[in-house]
Amino acid sequence: MKDFFKYMAATVVGLIVFTLLTGVLGVMCIAGMIASESSAKDVSDNTVMVLNLSGVLNERSEESIMDQLSGSTVGNMGLDDILDAIKKAKNNDKIKGIYIEAGMFGADSYASMQAIRNALKDFKKSGKWIVAYGDVYTQGTYYIASVADKIFLNPSGQIDWHGLASQPIFLKDMLAKFGVKMQLAKVGTYKSAPEMFTADKMSDANREQVTAYISGIWQTICKDVSESRKISVDSLNAYADRLITFDDPKEFVKRKMVDKLIYTDGIKAEINKLMKKDADDNINTAGLAEMKLLADNSSKGDEIAVYYAYGNIVDSEETGMMSQGHNIVGKKVCEDLQALADDDNVKAVVLRINSGGGSAYASEQIWHYVEMLKKKKPVVVSMGGMAASGGYYISSGANWIVAEPTTLTGSIGIFGMFPDFSGLLTQKLGVKFDEVKTNKNSGLGTPARPFNEEEMAYIENYIDRGYKLFRSRVAEGRKLSIAQVEKVAQGHVWLGQDAYKHKLVDQLGGLNEAVAKAASLANLKEYHTAPYPGKSDWMEQLLNKASQGSYIDNQLRLTLGEYYEPFMLIRSMNRQNAVQARVPFILNIR
């Protein structure tokens, strides 16, 4: 019996040792694979860069180790990687052109698509060519592809061309069925975010501003396509009115929207024609993954930090299997900005902001750290698709602000929303409450009843004080009077091109223009950029500290489509800060 236990113990120990060794070897293999894939590489001569516009576009790539091991890239496209790849392709003599393959492409804004399109326009200055092919072009992918020298369409394909519409969602009546209503305190006639919960249609003020910004975006789209395709803006509007999406594909050729109808197998011959090669010759290609590995020789000179801040502004990070995408976490951003201020190697900072806002408290904290950073080195803001409400709050103190023409910004205003569940509890569920209290307002926030008139007056004063603080921050940063800010505040959302006219931004352009301005302010003649914050390494991801929620979130986004945002909003409603500086929860431009 003693021998039995001895052999059994030895077996167990052996299994444990074997498992540990296998795990260590596995980790070492994974590390080796990633290290080998991450080492700088070059491309062959006569290479074509392939830009596959499929999946969901994020402000910054969030590819996880699980994506790398599985080979999945769906839902993990980063605007930063695309812009960097196009720039490398322009400067690499071995790359002769770009092939755009249009697919089902989801971007958070037309400003992001405009940034890609502008980068492609800049690429063409090198004398290299761009061709595009699609079985079906969404309106967004066609907008990007319209810059190409040649646009090809499948003989049975489509181009979605219908104009823009915004269809806000209203939940007031749905909540009422459960005995729930929202108690609202807000400042700003145009502050429309709470309407989703407190109204059943758009207010006149909101309809006015939404009409203005979707019309402005559409005019920009039509103007850009008109210039590239030599089609009049009037014709493009007429095509949208007639829903040419459903026309015979041959009509797209007649209307100059595409150059030729070909099947997928004909693309090779068309590209070889541009390369001056035989139709059947093999083509060397490089996708985004390969472009990321190209050696970058632009690391000379002083460093300009590009700090990416995108997503909802929150007080603390939500973690776990169902965390909702990327957030601007107040405490973490403040710590990062302090580190950049203390880093003597960093000579200037560009804040790349893409956010519709969020927590007013977190926005104020970040504003404070931007002010401290600005005392040590220049701070320039580059606005992405949105830098509105809280997103504008954290931008307002910068030395210089650069926005895309179609960026949504401004929305200077604050609101507080407090759900009243008393109807659900007392009327629907039959819950009864009683009360004993020591002071007049001891029962503030009880689920037994809504706020009374006096309590709401206190809350409204608090919200008004927050609005005045926000307004004063803008006035100080933009060097405007309070009266001047008030004229463009009240929660009004502006396009970047209009915000420029109202002095809410200093310059129209993208990230490159912001970096150039930062270099100028810091008196740098030779410089390079470095992205911040650093991405999680493979070990952190393996230990489940970074990407699990992101992976699940990407799959949900792809599965739920347009229903993703309402689903996630309802799920996270009770975890949001009650006092918000943000644009509508679901912008819904389509």
For the chain, give every domain's residue range: 47-162+243-292, 179-198+298-316+323-430+448-579
Give the H/E segment covering residue 20. Answer: helix 2-38
The reported pLDDT for the residue numbered 240 is 96
- In sequence order, the β-bridge partners of residue 184 are 417
440 is catalytic: no
Sequence-distant (≥ 6) Cβ neighbours of residue 473 within 8 angstroms? 364, 367, 393, 396, 397
Reduced to 3 states (helix: H, G, I; strand: E, B; else coil), residue 15 is helix
- Residues in the chain, pLDDT under 70: 1-40, 62-76, 297-298, 318-325, 536-576, 585-588, 590
The reported pLDDT for the residue numbered 569 is 58
Fold of 47-162+243-292: 2-enoyl-CoA Hydratase; Chain A, domain 1 (3.90.226)
The reported pLDDT for the residue numbered 68 is 52
Q: Residues 586, 569: contact at Cβ < 8 Å?
A: yes
Reduced to 3 states (helix: H, G, I; strand: E, B; else coil), residue 99 is strand
Q: How far is CA 569 from CA 196, 325, 382, in A?
A: 11, 12, 27
CA 194 – CA 214 distance, rounded (Å): 20
Among 96, 128, 181, 191, the one annotated catalytic: 191
CA 68 – CA 133 distance, rounded (Å): 27
Hunting for tokens 């190697």 — which residue is that?
Answer: 345
Cis peptide leading into 533, omega within 30 of 0?
yes
Hunting for tokens 């090669």 — which residue is that?
Answer: 277
Helices 548-560, 564-572: inter-axial angle, 10-degree rounding: 130
The reported pLDDT for the residue numbered 564 is 59
Q: How far is CA 562 from CA 56, 106, 191, 200, 202, in A?
A: 12, 10, 23, 20, 20
Among 109, 146, 192, 389, the one annotated catalytic: 389
- Write the CATH number of the domain with boundaries 179-198+298-316+323-430+448-579: 3.90.226.10
Q: Residues 85, 120: contact at Cβ < 8 Å?
A: no
DSSP per residue over 479-504, as a string? T--HHHHHHH-TT-EEEHHHHHHTTS
Q: Residues 412, 374: contact at Cβ < 8 Å?
A: no
Q: What is the 3-state secondary structure (H, E, C) of 146-167?
A: CCCCEEEEEEEEEECCCCCCEC
The reported pLDDT for the residue numbered 55 is 85
Q: Fill in the amino acid letter for 109.
A: S
Same topology, domains 47-162+243-292 and 179-198+298-316+323-430+448-579? Answer is yes
Reduced to 3 states (helix: H, G, I; strand: E, B; else coil), residue 424 is helix
Give the H/E segment covering residue 387. Answer: strand 379-388
428 is catalytic: no
Q: Residues 101, 136: contact at Cβ < 8 Å?
A: no
Sequence-distant (≥ 6) Cβ neighbours of residue 275 within 8 angstroms? 46, 48, 96, 97, 281, 283
Maximum Cα–Cα distance for the chain, whole Å?
94
Residues 76-96 pLDDT 10s:
689 999 999 999 999 999 999
